[in-house]
Amino acid sequence: MLTNKFNLGFFPTPLHELQNMSKSFPAYSIFIKRDDLTGLACGGNKTRKLEFLIKQALDGGYNTIITSGAQQSNHCRQTAAACAMAGLKCHLLLGGDEPQTYTGNLLLSSILGAQIHFTGNNRKGEDTLVLKKELEKKNNRCFVIPYGGSNIIGALGFIIAVKELKKQLKDSDLTIDYIFFPSSSGGMQAGLTLGIEYYNLNYKLIPINVDKDQTNGRPLEKIVLEIINEGFNYLKMDKQFGLTNIPLNKDYDKDGYGNLNENEKNTILELAQQEGIILDPVYSGRAFNGMIDILRSRKIPEKSNVLFWHTGGGPAIFEYSKPFTKENGNYL
Ligand SMILES: *Cc1c(COP(=O)(O)O)cnc(C)c1O
């Protein structure tokens, strides 16, 4: 069940301490889990979900994948790469209008051979069924991967990611108290939660909400909850969660999805210049900024070991070059 996957990435991803950064936060030790280095066409957290989703599609005899996201979707870029590896056709429904020049993830998705459909205001797969019908008329066998790859099958990737982390910590004689990460379509959060329950661990999750909008009329907590309860059933665990079991920090989502604010920009610069690590302008920049704000105001107990789960997204930075361009010695 947890082994029925199509290999797409290089695991385990590295786990290491942020030694320079930790000096600015003497009350804490800060570690990072490098899912930006999963290896699938610039890496990212979707690689883990896609290993299970692509396997499901192959097992079902499908030849075409349809999925959706924003124009700079990391999920869509990694899906395009996964389809290339698995010999599947890939159709992407991307929000917005076609830009004159492609950059960042959009450029990579196109290079990776995906067929791209621009869907205006719809960036969460609202047009999926129309496209599916069209493609099926032409005899394609279409497998739909939901927005962000977030369902129980995708979440399995993060159950085994918890096992991977557990082993890494044991091997290096480390413990972790808190795990910070950006949460958006919910599959990662659901998978991590299930993994923690399944392997009986006591890491506490602090998911930072990235997108204040709902997905097809449903709030993120509800989506996460549904996947978790489906997961308990799938794993034959006699357990049931309620909404009160689902943490979600919404203190940093005010600017809306994809809108980089000044604090986030400065955080990206800080980590880049202290540790040589690139955060992305949509997800990991927002979550890392939230984490250091929480540490700075000591909202979690001192002496805690803190892990930031880097989810990738680096290619999107090229779409956001303006705020990182210097004029008169200052960033714009
Ligand atoms: C998709 C994504 C996330 C969020 O993961 P979900 O499972 O969708 O909640 C976080 N960071 C990056 C870079 C992503 O691409």
Q: How far is the CA of 79 from the centre of ligand 1 (A)?
A: 13
Per CATH, domain 15-43+150-331 is 3.40.309.10:
no
Helix %, strand %, coil % of the chain (to 5): 45, 15, 40
**Which tokens sit at 284?**
């990991």
Say whether 73 is catalytic.
yes
Surface-to-core class of residue 108, CB atoms within 10 Å of its CB (0-12 exposed, 13-18 middle, 19+ buried):
buried
Q: How far is the CA of 203 from the centre of ligand 1 (A)?
A: 20
Q: How far apart are CA 316 and CA 284, in angstroms?
A: 11
214-to-39, 62, 154, 309 alpha-carbon distances in Å: 30, 30, 20, 23
Q: In the predicted model, what is the mean pLDDT of residues 12-27? A: 96
Phi, psi of 75 (to 5 degrees): -60, -45
pLDDT at residue 13 above 90?
yes
Q: pLDDT tens for residues 37-90?
A: 999 999 999 999 999 999 999 999 999 999 999 999 999 999 999 999 999 999
Residue 281 amino acid letter: P
The protein residue whose alpha carbon is closest to atom 13 in ligand 1 is 313
Please state the atom number of ligand 1 nearest to the C-alpha of residue 316.
13
Q: How far apart are CA 71 and CA 282, in angstroms?
A: 12
**pLDDT grade for 328, boundaries at 50, 70 and 90:** confident
Q: How far apart are CA 198 and CA 282, in angstroms?
A: 30
**pLDDT grade for 270, boundaries at 50, 70 and 90:** very high
- Residue 124: predicted pLDDT: 85
Q: The CATH number of 46-148 is which of 3.40.50.300, 3.40.50.1100, 2.40.50.140, 3.30.565.10? A: 3.40.50.1100
Residues with CB under 6 A from ligand 1: 44-46, 74-75, 148, 150, 182-189, 280, 283-284, 311-313
Surface-to-core class of residue 222, CB atoms within 10 Å of its CB (0-12 exposed, 13-18 middle, 19+ buried):
middle
Instruction: Indicate the DSSP class of residue 279.
Output: P
- Residue 122: predicted pLDDT: 87
- Residue 302: predicted pLDDT: 97
**Which tokens sit at 13?**
């991803």
Peptide bond before residue 26 is cis, with ω within 30 degrees of 0: no
Which residue matches tokens 């309860």? 229
Q: In the predicted model, what is the mean pLDDT of residues 311-321? A: 97
Residue 151 amino acid letter: N
Q: Where are the domains of the chain?
A: 15-43+150-331, 46-148
Q: pLDDT tens for residues 94-149?
A: 999 999 999 999 999 999 999 999 999 888 888 999 999 999 999 999 999 999 99
**Which tokens sit at 302?**
């001192």
Which residue matches tokens 């009329």? 217
Nearest to 324 by CA among 273, 252, 250: 273
Q: How far is the CA of 273 from the centre of ligand 1 (A)?
A: 24
- pTM (predicted TM-score): 0.97
Residue 41 amino acid letter: A
Report the length, in residues, of the chain.
332
Query: 15-43+150-331 with 46-148: one CATH topology?
Result: yes
Question: From the candidates 22, 29, 73, 284, which is the catalytic residue?
Answer: 73
Q: How far is the CA of 262 from the centre of ligand 1 (A)?
A: 21
